[in-house]
Amino acid sequence: MVSSVANLLAVLAFAPFLLGVINRTKAVVAGRKGPPAFQVYYDLVKLFGKGFVASRTTTWVFLAGPVLSVAAPLVALILLPLAGLPATLSFPGDMLLFVGVFALARFFVAAAAMDTGSPFEGMGAAREVTFSALVEPALLFGMLALTRLSGSLSLTGMLDVRAAGAWQKASASVVLILASWFIVLLAENARVPFDDPNTHLELTMIHEAMVLDHSGPAFGFVLYGAALKLTVFAALLVTLLIPAGPGGGVLDLLLFAGGLAGVGVVVGLVESSMARLRLVRVPQLLVTATLLAGFAVVLLVR
């Protein structure tokens, strides 16, 4: 328990670095000098030191968005086994809470965007809730497949692929889940090919558009929340890919951090090598992710 909490704190501190890794990767591939890997930390410090300008049209809901965008991934991290150690809090059915808190955050982030009365933010909010509706079933199908493999109803149990012998018994299903959840990671974290985090152009706007009016510390919350959320989804993939354990050592933590950074590099490479999809194509790719995970279940239940 104590070491689980220690892992949790370490991941909380590590999260902004992951955004830095993606940005470094993109800079290297593009041949730019690029911002330093620790840039996000500097940004956070700067934002928290600033004043906060709010729109006159907004209410308390506008502030609930940034709060929930940090609280949700925080709860998710508490439910997630990190670096080979069991989760800080684990109970049968915790995967449903995992999905639920992100939905709660989405509700308030989108509502906060609508609270400004800005058409750009409305556009972002509408797209966010639309695409996320198609993402959630993919997550659930993957979790169902893992439950079938491990016989466990909690994230700690089902992500312990080493104990379940998942790679030996059903490597096809695990690969399908990994592919599906990588698409989920890109969609949920507003990365290319779903969204372009670099621009605020109307045509590409999803996540960044929703937070246009948040400034100073509020935007700091949003930025840190985004880093945490990316870390959570990367941790899901890393735990499946690197069946480390039993965990607890510094080596495990380093291996885990390396894995997370690896996911960051892959995301950076995807971002450098392809363009954003046209909006009408986005639902198709998301349904593909659901189907991939659905296949993983069918393979195991036949």
Partner 1 sequence: MTPTSLELLAIASALVAFSGLPGLLTPAGSRAAQRVASWCHVAGCALGVSAAALALAGSTAAATFPWALPGGALTFALDRLSAFFLVPVFVVAGLGSVYGEGYWAEAHHPGNGRKLRFFYGLATAGLALVMVAGDAWSFLTGWEIVSLAAFFLVTTDQDDAAALRAGWIYFVAAHAATLILFAMFALLRDATGGWLLAPSAALGSSVLLTPILLLALAGFGLKAGVIPLHVWIPDAHAAAPSHVSALLSGVVLKMGIYGLVRLFSMLPAYPTWLGLALLALGVTSGVLGVVMALAQHDLKRLLAYHSIENIGIILIGLGVGALGMAQGRLDWAVLGFAGGLLHVWNHAAFKALLFHAAGAVIHATGTREIDALGGLMRRMRFTGAAFLLGAVAISGLPPLNGFVSEWLISLASFRALTSGNGGVGMLGAAAAAPALALIGALAVACFVKATSAVFLGTPRGPHATRDVADASSSMRFTMGALALSCAALGLWPNGATAVSRRAADALLGARAGTAPSADLGALGTVPLFVLAVIAATAVAGMALMRPVALTTTWDCGYASGSPRIQYTASSFAQMLVRLFRWAVLPDEHRPRLDGAFPAAGPRFESHAPDPALDRVLLPLFARGRSLLGLLHVIQAGRIQTYLLYIVVTLVVLLAWSWSW
Q: Are 255 and 99 in contact (CB under 8 A)?
A: no
| Shortest CB 260 distance to partner 1, Å | 22
Q: 209 near 227, Cβ under 8 Å?
A: no
Q: What distance in Å separates the CA atoms of residue 65 and residue 216, rounded to the nearest whole number?
A: 14
Shortest CB 193 distance to partner 1, Å: 17
We find the least distance from the C-beta atom of residue 266 to partner 1, in angstroms, to be 26
Give the nearer residue to partner 1 in terms of CB position, either 249 or 283: 283
Q: Please, which residue, 81 or 264, has the CB nearer to partner 1?
A: 81
Q: Residue 9: which of 231, 265, 237, 246 has the closest Cα?
A: 231
Q: Minimal distance in Å, beta carbon 8 to partner 1?
A: 12
Q: Where are the beta strands (DSSP E) in 211-279?
A: none
Name which of 19 and 44 has its Cβ closer to partner 1: 44
Smallest distance from partner 1 to CB 34, Å = 26
- Of 17 and 221, the one with the shorter C-beta distance to partner 1 is 221
As given in the structure block, the two tokens for residue 171 are 């490597």
Q: Tell me the angle at which helices 216-241 and 39-48 cross, rounded to the nearest 10 degrees.
A: 150
Task: Find the helix packing angle between 250-273 and 2-30, rounded to 10°.
Answer: 30
R_g of the chain, CA atoms, integer Å = 19
Closest CB 124 distance from partner 1, rounded Å = 10
In the bound state with partner 1, the residue whose beta carbon lies nearer, of 153 and 257, is 153
Nearer to partner 1, 218 or 267 (CB): 218
Cβ proximity to partner 1, 13 vs 254, nearer residue: 13
- For residue 82, give the 3-state DSSP assignment: strand
The answer to whether the CB of 84 falls within 8 A of the CB of 257 is no
Write down the least CB distance from residue 202 to partner 1, Å. 8
Angle CA 186–189–194, to nearest 5: 50
Helix axes 216-241, 250-273, angle to 10 degrees: 110
Q: Which residue has the tokens 């499946």?
A: 240
